[in-house]
Amino acid sequence: LKPAVNALFKKLKDEELELLVQVVESRGAWESGCVLAPRGDSQGVKQGLPPQVLLCRLFRWPDLHQSHELKHLCYCTGGQGACGDLAVLCCNPHHFSRLAVPGECWWQHGRLPHPPRLRSPLPDTSLSWSTIKDGCWCKLAYWEYRTRVGRLYAVHEASVNVFCELPWGSGFCLAQLPAAYRSCAIRRARGKIGRGLLLSREPGGIWAYNRSEHPIFVSSPTLSPPGACRLTVLKVLPGYSAKVFDYEWAGDRRGWQLPGEGPCDPHSIRISFAKGWGPCYSRQFITSCPCWLEVLLNQPC
């Protein structure tokens, strides 16, 4: 890739190169500006790689091949996609995530033949989307096993970061929540949250971008096949994004139930940090996970 990279660097302005250095050295620890490159002609460039693919392959994912494997993150404002008449496009490697798509090994399907009798249903502390009237599009509840920690966090912006104990960034900081006692397992799991995740409300649904260095595990009514009585948990690897809720599909999920846990809000998402659950894991329920997040969605406008 060296000839192609050198050719691209020669096209970047000094301020773009300085920003790129900062972004790469920080590994995308905070939201940065766009690195704009001339859209230009790909002839003569090795394998015809677009600038964003070239830099993402160089600095983040050596096995990346095509631009359709990438997703623009919601805070990227430069060259948002592929409008052919734009003179420049963003090639900031941390303005992109890889795309987690169905059909890969990260889908964990399972069917529970009989409802387990080991645990009682989850306490009914969820907030129904129909009762939210203050203008926020979701509220976040942080849980440690079966105990909710702190108050609900209302989200009004189009996106929100959820992280643990970073000295930078804005959003839902879990370190600010009170807790009287934490077991060793909870402390170990919290230590893996790191930069956490980015939740964004985008046209048609909700996306989750894994900013941490460990997998996150996601379940929602729209991740399960229509009419299926099964638990579907999606494993999202570090650096990947996944559409975790689809508003259009949600209309068919009224009365949705979790095997062994009873009814569940059809406009909710559950995310476990670092630890998986479900029929494919030793933990059958998310309430067996040390640290997890409940996303309670408002009805879309």
DSSP H helix total and E strand total for the chain = 5, 18
* Confidence at residue 117, expressed as pLDDT on a 0 to 100 scale: 30
Model pTM score: 0.82
Provide the residue type at 174 as one letter: L
Entry field: residues in the chain: 301
DSSP 8-class letter at 287: G
| Alpha-carbon span 161 to 181, nearest angstrom | 25
Domain positions in the chain: 1-99, 138-252+262-297
pLDDT tens for 21-44 read: 999 998 888 788 999 988 765 444
- Contact indicator for 211, 159 with CB cutoff of 8 Å: no
Q: Tell me the fold of 138-252+262-297.
A: Tumour Suppressor Smad4 (2.60.200)
Residue range 1-99, CATH number: 3.90.520.10
Can you tell me the distance from the alpha carbon of 67 to that of 98, in angstroms, rounded to the nearest whole number?
10
The percent of residues above 90 in pLDDT, for the chain, comes to 52
Per-position b or e across 249-278, b if 16+ CB within 10 A of its CB: bbeebeebebbbbeebbbbbbbbbbbbbbb
Distance of alpha carbon 8 from alpha carbon 226, whole angstroms: 46
43's CB contacts (< 8 A; 6+ apart) are none
Per residue in 112-137, pLDDT (tens digit) is 333 333 333 333 334 443 434 568 99
Q: Which residues face 159 on adjacent strands?
A: 200
Which amino acid, 121?
P
What's the token pair of residue 43?
């002839």
Q: Answer for the pair 223, 250: CB distance below 8 angstroms, yes or no.
A: no
The answer, yes or no, to whether residue 287 has pLDDT greater than 90, is: yes
